[in-house]
Amino acid sequence: MTAFLIIAAILTSVVALVGTLLVGKDISAKLKDYESEGDTLQDELARSHEYESKSLSVNIKSLSWIYVGLALVTIFVCLGIFFY
């Protein structure tokens, strides 16, 4: 039972890490696309404002769900080990 809980915690941590890296990779890809376009200052300013508003609604939400899940599994594992 304890081994299963530890394995579940490790797998959840790996999934959380991969999810975080995917969100970061998506942001990096968007930034590279923007750099290759070479737009005017007004276009860059508009993208900056759009990114600031979208980042909070999309990226932060995704990362929050990832780490809430990680925290719940970690708590479950700790309680399982404690009561086992």
pLDDT in tens, 14-65: 888 898 888 888 888 877 877 777 667 787 788 778 777 777 777 788 888 8
**What are the distances in angstroms from CA 45 to CA 36, 66, 77?**
16, 30, 46
Provide the residue ranges of all domains of the chain, joining segments of one domain with +.
2-83
Give the pLDDT of residue 42: 80
Distance in angstroms (rounded) separating the CA atoms of residues 9 and 11: 6
pLDDT tens figures, 68-78? 888 888 888 88
In this prediction, residue 64 carries a pLDDT of 85
Predicted TM-score (pTM) of the model is 0.63
Separation between Cα atoms, residue 66 and residue 54, nearest integer Å: 18
